[in-house]
């Protein structure tokens, strides 16, 4: 096989939490008097919490201190985690679980590489930890995507060189991070990308048939 390991982004790849992010950020935008819609929400995909906040605040006429920004980010995360509590194993389709099992049975190391600091909680709600040999999330990195740190660290956690790993992403920042880390990338979905990924797939269920 061309690869020894697969590193998956979480949100938008293995599950969808967009509706929870949208609702939580929408309330933040309303508080600061900034516009917010699906187009703006798309810009936040794969981006850290504080960077996402700065994108929203750029649409506000108000100015905010660092302390106020920290408060806004904390309140957004509290709202988001309350919404995440609605998640259950049903939010990871059986076909996705089957695909992960097929990849693991083929001898590949599987890891999660997510900028989200809530990744561990989401995986717990999904009852999905057993599919992965390692999880690297936003609590373990100093630089979020498009910096490659989360992916290179995930590769190291499963004992592999970056070049031996394929990243599976849905966001432009993740594609850029994969390239910066010297990794091939499979993009899930149809969101516009700054350059062509190694593979384009409809969803994770198509991955085994693409690379095995």
Sorted by sequence, the CB contacts under 8 Å of residue 23 that are 6+ apart come out as 79, 83
Of the candidates 11, 147, 164, 184, the residue annotated as catalytic is: 11
Residue 82, CA distances (Å) to 68, 85, 184 in order: 21, 5, 35
Nearest-angstrom CA–CA distance, 175 and 5? 17
Give catalytic status of residue 137 as yes or no.
no
**Residue 41 near residue 18 (C-beta atoms within 8 A):** yes
Give catalytic status of residue 147 as yes or no.
no
**Residue 144 near residue 113 (C-beta atoms within 8 A):** no
Write out the catalytic residue numbers.
9, 11
């Amino acid at each position: 096989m061309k690869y020894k390991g697969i590193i998956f982004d979480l949100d938008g790849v293995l599950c969808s939490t967009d509706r929870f992010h949208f609702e939580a950020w929408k309330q933040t935008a309303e508080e600061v008097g900034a516009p917010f819609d699906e187009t703006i929400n798309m810009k936040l995909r794969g981006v850290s919490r504080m960077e996402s906040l700065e994108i929203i605040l750029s649409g506000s006429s108000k100015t905010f201190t660092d302390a106020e920004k920290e408060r806004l980010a904390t309140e957004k995360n509290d709202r988001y985690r309350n919404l995440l509590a609605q998640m259950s194993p049903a939010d990871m389709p059986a076909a996705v679980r089957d695909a992960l099992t097929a990849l693991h049975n083929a001898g590949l190391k599987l890891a999660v590489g997510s900028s989200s600091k809530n990744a561990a909680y989401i995986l717990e709600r999904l009852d999905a930890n057993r599919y992965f040999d390692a999880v690297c999330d936003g609590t373990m990195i100093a630089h979020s995507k498009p910096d490659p740190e989360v992916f290179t660290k995930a590769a190291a956690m499963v004992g592999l060189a970056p070049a031996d790993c394929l990243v599976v992403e849905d966001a432009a920042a993740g594609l850029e991070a994969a390239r910066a880390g010297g990794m091939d990338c499979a993009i899930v979905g149809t969101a516009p990308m700054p350059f062509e990924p190694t593979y384009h797939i409809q969803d994770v269920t198509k991955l085994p048939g693409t690379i095995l």
